[in-house]
Structures are given as C-alpha cells and as structure tokens.
Amino acid sequence: MAGMVILSIPLTLIVGLALYEFYFRIASVPKNGNLTGTYYMSEANGLIPDSLYRSYKLELKKDGTYLLTPNRVVNLRDHGKYTVDWRRDYSQLSFTFDSYNLPANIDTHSPQYTIEFIVGHPDNRKSVFFTQENN
C-alpha cells in the first residue's frame, strides 16, 4: 500500500505538469482577430533612419488581407493576403501575393503584438519589426 502511495505522487506531478503545459499553450495563443489592426515599424536594424519608422504602416484586416505603405525595406507587395498558423513555433504568419509566400514571426509576449520580417539571409540577423498600435 505504501508503495502505491509513493508511486502515485510522481505520477500525479507528471500528469499535473502535462495538463498545465497543455492549458498554457492553448491559453497563450491569441485569437486571429486580436492580430488585426494597424502596425507601425518599430525597429529596422539600421536599414532606414529611425525618423522614418512611423511612415511605414502595415494593416492586417479581418478578411485576411493586408496593406503595407510605403514599402522599400521588406520584400513584400503593398497588398495581398495573410494566414496564421499557431501550431508553428516560428513563422506563424504567412504573407501571400501572386505565387510568392513570405513568412513572418509573431511576438505575442506583450499586449501589443510585434511582427518580425527577416530581411535577406537569416544569418545576416537583419530584421524589420512592426508593433501593433493600441486599438
């Protein structure tokens, strides 16, 4: 009887941790509707002057389309469609225009989401970030 009690404690901890992680993953995933809105450039790793950041605007619309104005930094058309795949750890966003697809990362660890576009080769560590405007 004592052996079963001793075995049940680690088993209970393992099941509890598994349930907690499952809940945390589901609860921490934002809804697609939370992503919609206006984003402004917040960082460009020296690719453009800081004073121009607010002139770059990305709009994600509820119908799954986007608008980007102006665009001289990110290899993305000024309009197209986007999709979200929360099952992925990186590149959860996919921007599509014509037959081209550009992935982007979403940082969901703050009330304002941030979208990261990698510019050029990933080893260059150059990214452009757009942060969601408070709605």
Say how far apart CA 97 and CA 77 lie, in whole Å: 7
List the one residue out of 19, 16, 18, 45 whose CA is nearest residue 116.
45
Spell out the residues 6+ positions from residue 56 whose beta carbon is closer than 8 angstroms to its own: 40, 41, 48, 68, 69, 70, 71, 73, 130
Cβ atoms within 10 Å of 67's Cβ, excluding its own: 15
Q: What is the pTM of this model?
A: 0.72
Q: What is the model's pLDDT at position 13?
A: 62
pLDDT tens-digit profile, the chain (135 residues): 665 657 666 656 666 555 555 544 544 555 556 889 999 999 998 888 999 999 999 999 999 999 998 877 788 888 999 999 888 887 889 999 888 888 999 988 777 899 999 887 777 778 999 999 875
